[in-house]
Each structure stands twice: as structure tokens, then as C-alpha cells.
Structure 1
Amino acid sequence: MSDLIKPSLGIMNLQQTARKFQLSRVAPSEDLAFFIRHYWIIRWDLRGQEPYTQHVIPNPCVNLVVEPDRTAIYGPGKEKYGHYLEGHGCVFGVKFKPGGFYPFFKRPVSDMQAGPLSVQNVFDTDPLRLEADMFAQTDERQMVELIERMIRPKLPEQDAQVSFINEIIDYINEQPDITKVDSLCEHFHVNKRTLQRLFDHYVGVTPKWVIKLARIQNAAEMTDVSVRPNWSKLSMDLGYHDQSHFIKDFKSIIGQTPDEYARQAQ
């Protein structure tokens, strides 16, 4: 098992909210790394303070979340979501790689848009027992070892399509000028309908949405570190030829216009 991964991606306004909670990310053991991106642990102590809602940008990953009375497996979201923090507590999560949960599930991940899955249905584990065991641990590595003991008996064979999907998504993230699914099809020599069907089954969202998400997340992160963002230049840098289209996409995922988000971040 490798060392802690530096937390950053996906947490909105992380620098401004770091005093509200602590976030750790831990890499999986080698035998699970084909399917799992990392484990994440959030701890907070707001006793004597006002409750706080932390917003997170969506991502094309399935997450298994262990939380008192809310333990479940959640499919990819399509807009930002908030986690309400009050008092003190801890949440443990397993973030699967894009496509990495499908070999466990063996059904289209898009079906998860209807609602979360019980860990009982996939890993034969009672969620209340898992919660009790997880939060009895005092060390993050013990928490990771516990969840890995639960996952290993259900470990499927490695699926080459998972690697292919992650190659595509890495390419999207590394190439900000990619704006159309047709460009992906041309680069990876794959039929458009085949690619869409692959993403429906393995990822649960469309490749078009993943492209849009990558660009908007990039914009949000650049906004976090820029005192006065130049929206026209930023939208062009991200491949938008129409600033109004950029603003519309930004609001559809972040829930605010770029100007509103920048004012809040500052």
C-alpha cells in the first residue's frame, strides 16, 4: 500500500475551507489498484461552531461511502453536491476508477442514476455492521485494511475495457482542446455509438458529459487561484468559442455563474 495521496481534486474552495475539515486520500493495495483510484477519509470537529456544507464537483466515478446510517454505493453525479457537516464525525469512501465498478456490478452503471446501491447487494456485507467496524478503528490504515478485506472476496477478473476507458478519460483531461466526442472517436479509432454504449455500461455517464466536466472543473480550479479571472481568455483556453456557452456549462455543473463562484472563492 502506498503513502497518502495529496488531497486536492474535486473539493471546491479547498484552501478557504481547510479549517472546517481534514481530508486524506490513501492509495489502494496493488492487487486492487486496477479497479480503485483511492480511498478518502474526511474528519471534522465543529463542536461549538456553526454547521458547514462542503460542496464537491461531480466526477465520472462510483463511490462506496461508509457513513453513519447512510452507507451505500453511489453512481456518478451530474452536478455539484453538498455534504452537511455538524458536530464531529468521520466519513470513509472508496473511489473506484472510471469503469472500475462495472466488473463488480455487471449491469450498466447508468442504472445507478435511479438511486444508490446497498453494500449488501454487491459485497454481501451488512451496512450497519460495516459502519460499526469501520468507526471502531483508530487508524486510517486499519480502516483501509478493513474495507479491502471486504472487497477482495468479490474481486473480479481485470477487464481490458476499464483500461481503455481510463486511457480515454486521461486523454480528455490532458487535452483541453478536445470539445467533441467525434474527436475522441477519431483519435481512438472507435465508432461513436460503440463509445457511447461503452460509457453507458462502464461509466454511467456520456463521453460528452465527461468532456464538459473536465473543462468546467479546470475552470473552477483556475478560478480558485486567480484573483481576477479573464473569463473571455479562460473560456477560449478551454476550447469554448462562445463565452455564453461556457457560462451556461459552468452554471449547469457548479450551480453558480463564474462571477458568482469567483466572488464566493475570494
Structure 2
Amino acid sequence: MRSLRYKPPSPLGNFIECFWYWEGIPEGTHTHERLMPNGEATIVFNLEDTPIKIYHPDDVNRFDTYGHAVLSGARTNYFVIGTAEQERVIGIQFRPGGSFPFFREPADVAENASIALDDLWRSRAEELRERMLAATNIPAMFQILELDLLDQLARPLAWHPAVDYALHHFRRVPHATTVAWMTGKIGLSPRRFIQLFRQQVGLTPKAFCRVRRFQQALLCVHGSKEVDWTQVALDCGYYDQPHFIHDFQSFSGMTPSAYLAAATPHLNHVPLV
């Protein structure tokens, strides 16, 4: 297996967490993985000559295909991929709200959804993939992605000031900042703020904060063998343990203890067994 990551400098680095490359079938006997929601969008290019498939969570015999490249929008639900389709892939992991400048469509078009990149970028998606396939090495692929994104911006590399301010606070303390408090600070009506935030981030402020709190909980327990679940719930801002378990299951489709038992070195990838 081979894995590389590259974080682009500013200004792209303000919107993109990293470019990543993966080669090889993941270890283990499982054939499918559930990907946990994190409130961020991702683009994936399959560098093998097979279509990308995303499977139905309740029946892995059913799937949708997306050609050689797909945009997965910000989510509050998990989705399922096949390990065989991950043999050679490259992708763009956006920061929260980071996909907004690169598409003419608002970010909420892909809310809890995946869209074939050809439907959004037309011929550009396949042309970009072909240029990466012709590259001599993986860093050259990353450079092709970086230059293409800068050359093909759909809008300025900036959020609305209210969205920028909200993202800063929501990322730091997702459980401690309310929409009412935020609108009091930014001077917008709740309706207008929610509309702007959803268009640029892909989720409502409330949904975004809930999924970021879920991610905070994953970080707290990932890699642990024994966990005080009540303390985790309190540390992450849940009212109590039942509230935490309910939220965890709604995002992941599994209990916290089941996640811990099945967790892999990758925070958001869990074998589907």
C-alpha cells in the first residue's frame, strides 16, 4: 500500500485540507467500508479504468456509479464504499465550506449527496484526470490539481464575512455557539444567515455543529481501548450519555462501543461487517 498527502499553501490552503493519494487494497478481509460524516466535501478521482461506486448502506448489492470522478458533498450521514474500488485513487479533501469557490452551484446542491464530477465540470473533469495519469510521479499529480483549481475558480477565494466568522467559531467550539448568539454578533437575521451558511458550507449551521461535535467525539475515543462514555459525552457538550449515543448512532449507523471495536487507523473509515 502507498499513501501520500500534500497540503497546499495559502490561498488554496485556507479552503483545502489536503490533496491525497492512495494505492493498494486496504488490509483485512472486509469488502466494504462505511465513511463517517465530517461536514466537509471531497472530490475523488479513480485512476483505474473502472467507475466509482457508492453502495446503499442497507444493501451492498445495490450501488450507484459516478464515472471516474465524484464530488461527495458535506454530510450528516455515513455512506459505503467498496475496498476494491480504492486500488488507485487521488482526491481533494476540502476544509469546511472549502468547495464553495470551485463550483458555480451552491454547496448545498451536494448536501448529503454525491454527484458525478462530469455533471459539474463537464469535460474538464476527464481532461484533468488524463493529465494526472500522464504525470511522472505523485507530487506532479498534486501540482496539476493545485494549478487547475487556481486557474478554474468559479468565484473568489472568500466566504461571506458572516460565514467566515461563523466557521471560525463553530470549528473551535461546535457545542457552545448557537445561531441566536451568532446572528446577534454578525447583524443578520437568522433566516438570512442560515441561507448564506447552507449555500456556502453545504449544511445548516445546526447540522454542521452537530456533525463537528460528532467528529470531536471520534477524536476523543479513536485509538483508545477503554472509554468513559459519560465523560466523553460531557466533554463534547452533550446533555448526557443517552443524548450522545442517539446522536452517534444517527450519524454513524452504529453504537459508540461498536465503532471502537471496529475502528481502523483511519478515523472515519470503519469496516462494514
Normalization by structure 2: what TM-score?
Answer: 0.75
Q: Does the 8 Å CA contact 2:41/2:73 hold for their aligned counterparts?
A: yes
Q: Does the 8 Å CA contact 1:125/1:150 hold for their aligned counterparts?
A: no
Instruction: Name the aligned partner's letter for residue 58 of structure 1.
Output: P
SS of structure 1 residue aligned to 2:115: coil
How far apart in 2 are the matches of 1:195 and 1:142?
40
How far apart in 1 are the matches of 2:110 and 2:246?
26
How far apart in 2 are the matches of 1:45 and 1:240?
37
Counterpart in 2 of 1:37? 17
How far apart in 2 are the matches of 1:74 and 1:160?
21
Task: Provide structure 2 residue ranges, at least 5 long, that are not aligned to the other structure.
Answer: 53-68, 265-273
- Taking structure 1 as reference, are residues 22 and 164 closer, same or farther at Cα in structure 2, changes over 3 Å only? farther
Counterpart in 1 of 2:110? 112
How far apart in 2 are the matches of 1:112 and 1:214?
18
Cα deviation digits, residues 98-126 of structure 1 (max 9, x gap): 33332332332212246404246436415
Q: Does the 8 Å CA contact 1:110/1:200 hold for their aligned counterparts?
A: yes
Counterpart in 2 of 1:25? 5
Counterpart in 2 of 1:231? 229
Give 1:62's match in structure 2, choosing from 17, 41, 53: 41
Q: Does the 8 Å CA contact 1:51/1:86 hold for their aligned counterparts?
A: no
Cα deviation digits, residues 66-109 of structure 1 (max 9, x gap): 11433122211222233322387221111233333323323322
SS of structure 1 residue aligned to 2:148: helix
**Alignment length (residue pairs):** 244
| C-alpha deviation, 1:237, in angstroms | 1.5
Task: Provide structure 1 residue ranges, at least 5 long, that are not aligned to the other structure.
Answer: 1-20
Normalization by structure 1: what TM-score?
Answer: 0.77
How far apart in 2 are the matches of 1:61 and 1:83?
17
Instruction: Please provide the CA RMSD for this pair.
Output: 3.0
Give 1:93's match in structure 2, choosing from 67, 75, 91: 91
Equivalent positions of 1:1-266 (< 5 A) are: 22-45=2-25, 50=29, 52-67=31-46, 68=48, 69-70=51-52, 71-86=69-84, 89-113=87-111, 115-119=114-118, 121-122=120-121, 124-127=123-126, 129-158=127-156, 160-161=158-159, 164-175=162-173, 177-178=175-176, 180-265=178-263
- Taking structure 1 as reference, are residues 146 and 182 closer, same or farther at Cα in structure 2, changes over 3 Å only? same
Q: Does the 8 Å CA contact 1:98/1:165 hold for their aligned counterparts?
A: no
Identity %: 25
| C-alpha deviation, 1:188, in angstroms | 4.5
- Taking structure 1 as reference, are residues 217 and 180 closer, same or farther at Cα in structure 2, changes over 3 Å only? same
- Taking structure 1 as reference, are residues 172 and 152 closer, same or farther at Cα in structure 2, changes over 3 Å only? closer
SS of structure 2 residue aligned to 1:161: coil
- Taking structure 1 as reference, are residues 146 and 168 closer, same or farther at Cα in structure 2, changes over 3 Å only? same
SS of structure 2 residue aligned to 1:86: helix
Q: Does the 8 Å CA contact 1:58/1:78 hold for their aligned counterparts?
A: yes
How far apart in 2 are the matches of 1:163 and 1:37?
20
Instruction: Name the aligned partner's letter for residue 27 of structure 1.
Output: K
Q: Does the 8 Å CA contact 2:162/2:193 hold for their aligned counterparts?
A: no
- Taking structure 1 as reference, are residues 65 and 223 closer, same or farther at Cα in structure 2, changes over 3 Å only? same
Q: Which moved more, 1:141-150 or 1:179-188?
A: 179-188
Cα deviation digits, residues 115-173 of structure 1 (max 9, x gap): 4042464364152x443432343422111122234323322453542565344233223
Q: Does the 8 Å CA contact 1:123/1:154 hold for their aligned counterparts?
A: no
SS of structure 2 residue aligned to 1:77: coil
- Taking structure 1 as reference, are residues 87 and 138 closer, same or farther at Cα in structure 2, changes over 3 Å only? farther
Instruction: Name the aligned partner's letter for residue 135 of structure 1.
Output: L
SS of structure 2 residue aligned to 1:170: helix
How far apart in 2 are the matches of 1:257 and 1:156?
40
Instruction: Name the aligned partner's letter for residue 122 of structure 1.
Output: W
Q: Does the 8 Å CA contact 2:109/2:202 hold for their aligned counterparts?
A: yes
